[in-house]
Amino acid sequence: MAVPKSVLDPLAGVRLNGPTEGFADVLTPAALGFVADLHRRFDGRRLALLAERVARQLRYDAGELPDFRPDTRAIREGDWSVAPIPAALQDRRVEITGPVERKMIINALNSGAKVFMADFEDSSAPTWANQVDGQRNLRDAVNGSIEFTSAEGKHYAVVDDPAVLVVRPRGWHLPERHVEVDGDVLAGALLDFGLFAFHNAKALQARDRGPYFYLPKLQSMEEAALWDDVMAYAEDALELPHGCMKATVLIETLPAVFQMHEILHALRTRIVGLNCGRWDYIFSYLKTFRAHADRLLPERGQVVMTVPFLKAYSELLIHTCHRRGAFAMGGMAAQIPIRGDDEANEAAMAKVRADKLREVTAGHDGTWVAHPALVPIAQAIFDEHMPTPNQLHVTRDDVIARRDALIAPAMGTVTRAGFDNNVEVCLRYTAAWLDGLGCVPIHNLMEDAATAEIARAQLWQWLHHGPVEFSDHALINFALFDQVLAAHTHRLRESKHPGAARATQAATLISALTHASELRDFLTLPAYEHLV
Ligand SMILES: CC(=O)SCCNC(=O)CCNC(=O)[C@H](O)C(C)(C)COP(=O)(O)OP(=O)(O)OC[C@H]1O[C@@H](n2cnc3c(N)ncnc32)[C@H](O)[C@@H]1OP(=O)(O)O
Ligand SMILES: O=CC(=O)O
Ligand SMILES: [Mg+2]
């Protein structure tokens, strides 16, 4: 591996605040020097873009509504396409996602899915050990040496023709406090991207696969351009061909839906597609309109992809991508297999099938699943309705970009059960996350950082924009919230659920965030203060 020329004294100015024992093979001086170099070149821009997010949100709080940008009209109306897409990514009909845990990586690579998105974001709790072990696991997956033996003696190894690996680093907002450069805390995104690229890009490039990334939670084309510059610099520094690092961007914030052409354009030499990250998108809708009492959402179960603002978003994404030669990936249905109850399982699988059928017939080129058992289900539907590797030819010229449709309020109700479920999910997810688990099943649904954030943001809105009524006309109030939270905290503490030992700590956090007069941007930022 060539060491970037700029890294003359790799460790000068780098301080590790986490344990290093057992991590030396990942945290090599050259790898850390590379990451520090990225920090010095790009962190100032990252911080400025995060400040722009705050300023943008203040404008929304003051009544402004998100809209298409007048200054980028030429990009939207111009005639251009993204660069050709590599063979390994031409057929992405089913993508499995999951945290960077060793056994799950092997299971995901073997799942039969075309792509495995290895996730340092929504499904990962960024403990220092999770981050560094995750990098080692991915390096071993790339070099073909990954194996695992469970406590029960079951052996795991990767089969022939595994899924294509795509890595999702953390979003721009998350810090990695275990690494400081020149006294600044490193960005989680730069650590995840930097270590993965440093250890694997060349090896991947040498095969018919490459260094491929999913980029989460972007709000603007400038944030996309920052990623483009980081990747271009990394390609030079690691002596890789320009454009070999490929990106798929999640459109999972409300501001970003108004800049899809612009984001594709900013990354046009390396972007492969956009993905409908529906859960964060709903969370972002809630956050963007945190001061708009006329745009509260009904309970989570009613905010499905056929609700007008979500339908408008997914269809505009398909139309935009296909106009530019990029793939329009679908998203994640939250249902997972239910063991021991055939009827409930069949009902859950029917919901997954319906969701995938909607996606493929709308024109999506592929979709996400959360669990290996869902791969054949999603694949059967895409195989039946998408005989070609993708459907770039489905242009969806019927779709018109209309601001009001993209922000339309959603009708529905809040039931006592929906309120109770939001409290339970917030609490149990936060407790599991504090215990180092970033994705857990709760009542047979996958819950991760994005789905839990919806629950948290909704509770805040219903309580602060009151009086909000339940469907039975009783009022939602803080006394009830406190009572329901206390009951769930007690139940969790007594249970064997993940995070049971963290129940009280999680409850204190959720209570503070819900009572606070301002809706905080991310649950994971204050929670990170408590993570080891
Ligand atoms: C909003 C978004 O960002 S979506 C993307 C982020 N979310 C995700 O990636 C979801 C990932 N999924 C998961 O973490 C898990 O499926 C959960 C937590 C939802 C459920 O996990 P479990 O309850 O352990 O599932 P279950 O017990 O049915 O697992 C059965 C087997 O499948 C494996 N498995 C389950 N999900 C996955 C996965 N996503 N990838 C790889 N293997 C998996 C398990 O490791 C287990 O393997 P084993 O039989 O060899 O021991
Ligand atoms: O990252 C995906 C989402 O739905 O959020
Ligand atoms: Mg997300």
pLDDT computed for residue 7 by the predictor: 45
Residue 342 makes CB contacts below 8 A (sequence gap 6+) with none
Specify the residue with its C-alpha closest to ligand 2, atom 2.
277
Phi first, then psi: give them for residue 241, nearest 5 degrees. Answer: -65, 145
Q: Parallel, antiparallel, or unpaired for β 327-332 and 366-369?
A: parallel
Is the pLDDT at 357 greater than 60? The verdict is: yes
In the chain, what are the domain boundaries?
14-404, 416-528
Which mutation among 121, 281, 282, 439 tests ligand 2's pocket best, with the greatest number of atoms within 8 A of CB? 281
Is the pLDDT at 3 greater than 50? The verdict is: no
pLDDT, tens only, 378-427: 999 999 999 999 999 999 999 999 999 999 999 999 999 999 999 999 99
pLDDT computed for residue 1 by the predictor: 44
ipTM of the complex: 0.99
Name the CA radius of gyration of the chain, rounded.
22
Residue 476 makes CB contacts below 8 A (sequence gap 6+) with 414, 419, 462, 463, 466, 467, 468, 469, 470
Q: Is the Cβ–Cβ distance between 7 and 33 less than 8 Å?
A: yes
Instruction: Give me the mean pLDDT over the 427-445 stretch.
Output: 98
pLDDT computed for residue 207 by the predictor: 84
CATH for 416-528?
1.20.1220.12
Specify the residue with its C-alpha closest to ligand 1, atom 7.
123
Question: Sheet of 14-16: strands edge to edge?
Answer: 14-16, 175-181, 184-187
Length of the chain: 532
Residue 192, judged by CB atoms within 10 A of its CB (0-12, 13-18, 19+), counts as: buried
pLDDT computed for residue 9 by the predictor: 59
Mean pLDDT lowest for which of 13-27, 420-434, 452-466? 13-27
Is the pLDDT at 5 greater than 60? The verdict is: no
Q: For residue 156, report the distance from its CA to the centre of ligand 1, in Å.
A: 15
Q: For residue 370, report the distance from its CA to the centre of ligand 1, in Å.
A: 6
d(C-alpha 419, C-alpha 195), whole Å:
41
pLDDT computed for residue 4 by the predictor: 44
Strands (E), 300-430: 327-332, 366-369
Instruction: Kindly state the tokens that stand for 22.
Output: 């057992």
Q: Is the Cβ–Cβ distance between 148 and 155 less than 8 Å?
A: yes
pLDDT computed for residue 2 by the predictor: 46
Strands (E), 333-454: 366-369, 440-442, 445-447
State whether the Cα torsion 318-322-323-325 is positive or negative: positive
List residues near ligand 2 (CB under 6 A). Answer: 122, 250, 252, 277-280, 331-332, 450
Which tops the pLDDT comparison, 74 or 8?
A: 74
Q: For residue 221, report the distance from its CA to the centre of ligand 1, in Å.
A: 33
Known catalytic membership, residue 448: yes
Q: At what angle do helices 221-237 and 29-61 cross, to 10 degrees?
A: 170
pLDDT, tens only, 319-343: 999 999 999 999 999 999 999 999 9
pLDDT, tens only, 286-310: 999 999 999 999 999 999 999 999 9
Query: Which atom of ligand 2 approaches the CA of 331 most closely?
Result: 4
Residue 479 neighbours by CB distance under 10 Å: 7
Instruction: Give me the mean pLDDT over the 431-457 stretch.
Output: 98
Is the pLDDT at 258 greater than 80? The verdict is: yes
Query: Which atom of ligand 1 approaches the CA of 438 most closely?
Result: 14
Q: Percent of the chain scored above 90 by pLDDT? A: 95
C-alpha angle with apex 261: 73 to 353, nearest 5 degrees?
A: 140
Predicted confidence band of residue 208 (pLDDT cuts 50, 70, 90)? confident
251 membership: H or E segment, kind and range: strand 246-251
pLDDT, tens only, 98-128: 999 999 999 999 999 999 999 999 999 999 9
Instruction: Give me the mean pLDDT over the 347-354 stretch.
Output: 98
Q: For residue 122, report the distance from its CA to the centre of ligand 1, in Å.
A: 13
Predicted confidence band of residue 11 (pLDDT cuts 50, 70, 90)? confident
Bond prior to 298 in cis (omega within 30° of 0): no
Specify the residue with its C-alpha closest to ligand 2, atom 1.
277
pLDDT computed for residue 415 by the predictor: 96
Q: Count how many Cα atoms sit within 13 Å of the Cα of residue 108 in the half-sphere of its side chain.
A: 29
Query: Which atom of ligand 2 approaches the CA of 279 most closely?
Result: 4
**Catalytic pick from 102, 168, 170, 300?**
168
Q: For residue 335, report the distance from its CA to the centre of ligand 2, in Å.
A: 14
List residues near ligand 1 (CB under 6 A). Answer: 96-99, 103-104, 107-108, 119, 122-123, 279, 332, 336-337, 370-372, 439-441, 446, 448, 450
Predicted confidence band of residue 10 (pLDDT cuts 50, 70, 90)? low
Instruction: Kindly state the tokens that stand for 165.
Output: 């690996």
Q: Is the Cβ–Cβ distance between 390 and 360 less than 8 Å?
A: no
Predicted confidence band of residue 466 (pLDDT cuts 50, 70, 90)? confident
Top-level class of domain 14-404: alpha beta
